[in-house]
Every structure is written in structure tokens, then in C-alpha cells.
């Protein structure tokens, strides 16, 4: 639970000016509104305040008129894991904690939860060494992960998604125009993270470059993502999923994919027609280009040898080690082609 939360508790007759002063003074980015018995009435964020100002509400307006009167809350006694799950599911950054009488007894913030979770030391490897031939002419003078969507490089979008969930240690593999990437991101400090670069002197495939990583503690997981993936998948949830089963050595994210056969498909037996289905839809899962692997599995990669990720996965399976699947149900886009890149740009504009 966040300390000093009681400093942002106000009564319903507090003013908009009072709320602004508290938001400026304390880092919680929320005001909790209670009644005389300290029962939760509502919450007020800086977004609520901005909207009130845009609607010409005066600074003397009571917070009860502009607060969220139906805020999400959690019952006291829940674990941090449970609270985190509630916050991720509801897409909120703060949540009041209440007792059975709806009296406020605490406040939890996503930032506090993320910074207190030691698993988030899990490093992230972004594979950014490809030539991006299918994205030419965009990649004639630019590495594929530096192509911009809505004014921001794909690589920066990926990093922001991870960083926003508390991941701070990054390795970026490079080969094609590495200086373009390194000059933009540097050591990562300006983005609040740490970046080390793994340069491939020759293309090593989607898994081969992992042999160049520094040694890591046995069984410690690392997340790997292709540098042309844009997704809203919860990386924290992915890590939790991977670590729930101690037998899982690797987790691969998958995406549902439907394909409609453009013809009638026949079913037959011994030369006789049994059935015919007109233009059926075949449903399958495809590799989504996001993985978690335990570090001791990296020993399967021979240094300086080309290796793609599917081959590495087959090696792990051949050793009778468990490889799990994590279905992505949120937004996901592989922007490796011109058409997919253009579509991602259109979708980014729509969601603004």
C-alpha cells in the first residue's frame, strides 16, 4: 500500500482549487473524496480536472460535482498480486482500498506495485537487426524498427509499452544501420531505462543473437520481442503466466488467425464424397513474435551460428522441455510489410 495516502483524502465540499493544490503537492495523481464517516464517494484525477476546466468550471466548484462517482475500489486484505490484476483489467493507475463498510483504509498505485516487484528485473531483448526489405523504400536509409508510426519509431513504442509496466533493463540487437538506433536511444537514461546493444557482425537469425548476451542467473527469464511488433499485450501478465509453471522453459505468444478457403472443400472416403463445405473458415494460431525463455536454455544456441526462433523452440521440445503458449487477445500488429505498416498507421490515428 502506498504511504501518505491520507494526504489526498478530501470531503465532498472541497473545491477544485483544493484538489489542484493536492495533485501538485503529492505524487499519487488522484484525489479520494469521502463523507463524514470516511466512506468512499468518488475519485478525482488530473484528467477529470482538465475536463472540468475545459467545461469552464470555476476553481470554487465543489469536487462532488466533477468527481467520478462510481470509482473502482478493492477490498482490504487482497494481496498485491490480486490488486495488480484488478488494476490491469480495469486499465487504472490508482485504486482506493476500502473495508466492508466502504470506508477508505488505503490507496494503491500501479507505479508503487511495479517498483516493488523484484521480478521486473527481467531483461527485455528487442531484435532490431533486420534489413526490413519488405518495408522498402521506408527502410532504404533507416532500420525497420526506426520507421515511425504516428511520429514515433516502432522501437520507441515497444520500449514505452515495457517501461510503462516496470521493465527497465533492455538489450537491443543490431546489424543494419546500428548507428541510427544507438544515436537515438543512447544508453536509455533519457527514457528512464538502461540499454545495452548487442551488435551482430553478420545476420544470426531471430535466435542466434541471443548467444551474444552476457551470462545470466540460471532459470532467470528474459522476454524477447521482434522489433516490428506493435501490441497492447500485458507483458507483466505474460511474465506471471510463464512463472506459474516451474516446468515451463519457454513461452511463445500466439495470435488467433482465421483463413477462409476460397473454394468448396470436400470430405471423402475411399473415393466417395461424404460432405462438401463451401468456403470454410480455418482457424489456427500463428507465432506472434514475443517470447519468454529461461536463461539456461540459451546454452542450446551455438555462438556465431545462424539460428531462427522456430528451430530453437524445436530443440527445446526435442529435449522434452515444456514450451507453453500465451494467446494474445489484445491489439497486435506485425508491421513487416508496407500494407501492414500502413494499416498500423491508420489504426494509430483512429485510437487517438
287 and 168 in a common domain: yes
315 and 172 in a common domain: yes
The predicted-structure confidence for 217-268, as pLDDT tens digits, reads as follows 777 899 999 988 888 888 887 888 888 888 899 999 988 778 888 888 888 8
And the C-alpha cell for 89? 483489467
280 and 158 in a common domain: yes
Q: Any idea what the CATH number is for the domain that residue 89 is in?
A: 3.10.580.10
And the C-alpha cell for 1? 500500500
**Alpha-carbon distance 62 to 64, whole Å?**
5
And the C-alpha cell for 265? 472443400
The neighbour count for residue 72, using CB atoms within 10 Å, is 15
Global pTM value: 0.64
Of 61, 88, 115, the residue at which a domain comes to its end is: 115
149 and 82 in a common domain: no
- The percentage of residues in the chain with a pLDDT greater than 70, rounded to a whole number, is 95
Q: Residue 218 is part of which domain span? A: 119-350
The predicted-structure confidence for 143-157, as pLDDT tens digits, reads as follows 888 888 888 898 999
Of 61, 80, 115, the residue at which a domain comes to its end is: 115
Of 59, 84, 115, the residue at which a domain comes to its end is: 115
With 0-12 CB in 10 A as exposed, 13-18 as middle and 19+ as buried, what is 143? buried
User: DSSP letter at 104?
Assistant: E
Q: Any idea what the CATH number is for the domain that residue 242 is in?
A: 3.90.550.10
156 and 99 in a common domain: no
Q: Per-residue pLDDT for 119 more than 50? A: no
**Alpha-carbon distance 151 to 155, whole Å?**
12
246 and 164 in a common domain: yes
Provide the H-helix boundaries in the chain.
16-25, 46-54, 80-90, 110-115, 154-163, 178-185, 205-208, 235-243, 309-318, 338-350
- Rounded to a whole number of angstroms, the distance between the first and last alpha carbons of the chain is 33
The predicted-structure confidence for 27-75, as pLDDT tens digits, reads as follows 788 999 999 999 999 999 877 887 787 677 888 889 999 899 999 999 9
The predicted-structure confidence for 272-317, as pLDDT tens digits, reads as follows 888 888 888 887 788 899 999 998 898 899 888 899 999 999 999 9
Contact between 241 and 291 under an 8 Å Cβ cutoff? The reply is: no
User: DSSP letter at 147?
Assistant: S
The predicted-structure confidence for 134-190, as pLDDT tens digits, reads as follows 778 777 888 888 888 888 898 999 998 888 888 889 999 988 888 989 989 999 888
Amino acid at each position: 500500500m502506498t504511504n501518505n495516502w491520507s494526504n489526498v483524502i478530501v470531503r465532498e465540499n472541497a473545491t477544485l482549487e483544493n484538489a489542484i493544490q493536492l495533485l501538485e503537492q503529492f505524487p499519487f495523481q488522484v484525489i479520494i473524496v469521502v463523507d463524514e464517516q470516511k466512506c468512499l464517494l468518488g475519485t478525482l484525477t488530473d484528467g477529470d480536472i482538465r475536463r472540468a476546466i475545459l467545461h469552464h468550471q470555476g476553481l470554487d466548484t465543489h469536487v462532488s460535482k466533477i468527481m467520478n462517482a462510481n470509482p473502482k475500489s478493492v477490498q482490504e486484505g487482497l494481496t498485491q498480486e490480486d490488486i495488480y490484476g484488478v488494476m490491469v483489467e480495469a486499465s487504472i493507475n490508482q485504486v482506493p482500498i476500502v473495508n466492508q463498510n466502504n470506508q477508505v483504509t488505503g490507496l494503491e498505485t500501479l507505479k508503487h506495485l511495479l517498483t516493488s516487484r523484484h521480478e521486473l528485473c527481467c531483461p527485455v531483448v528487442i531484435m532490431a537487426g533486420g534489413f526490413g526489405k519488405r518495408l522498402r523504400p521506408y527502410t532504404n536509409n533507416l532500420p525497420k524498427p526506426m520507421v515511425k508510426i504516428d511520429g514515433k519509431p516502432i522501437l520507441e513504442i515497444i520500449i514505452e509499452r515495457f517501461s510503462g509496466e516496470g521493465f527497465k533493463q533492455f538489450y537491443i540487437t543490431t546489424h543494419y544501420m546500428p548507428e541510427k538506433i544507438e544515436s537515438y536511444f543512447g544508453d536509455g537514461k533519457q527514457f528512464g531505462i538502461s540499454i545495452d546493444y548487442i551488435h551482430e557482425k553478420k545476420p544470426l537469425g531471430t535466435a542466434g543473437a541471443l548467444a551474444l548476451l552476457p551470462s545470466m542467473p540460471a532459470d532467470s527469464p528474459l522476454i524477447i520481442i521482434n522489433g516490428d511488433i506493435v501490441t497492447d499485450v500485458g507483458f507483466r501478465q505474460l511474465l506471471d503466466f510463464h512463472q506459474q509453471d516451474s516446468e515451463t522453459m519457454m513461452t511463445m505468444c500466439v495470435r488467433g488467425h482465421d483463413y477462409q478457403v476460397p473454394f468448396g472443400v470436400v470430405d471423402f472416403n475411399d473415393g466417395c464424397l461424404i460432405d462438401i463445405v463451401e468456403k470454410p473458415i480455418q482457424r489456427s494460431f500463428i507465432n506472434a513474435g514475443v517470447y519468454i525463455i529461461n536463461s539456461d536454455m540459451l546454452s542450446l544456441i551455438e555462438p556465431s551460428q545462424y539460428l531462427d526462433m522456430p528451430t530453437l523452440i524445436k530443440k527445446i521440445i526435442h529435449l522434452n522441455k515444456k514450451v507453453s503458449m500465451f494467446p494474445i487477445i489484445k491489439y497486435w500488429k506485425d508491421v513487416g510489410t508496407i500494407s501492414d505498416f500502413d494499416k498500423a498507421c491508420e489504426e494509430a490515428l483512429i485510437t487517438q
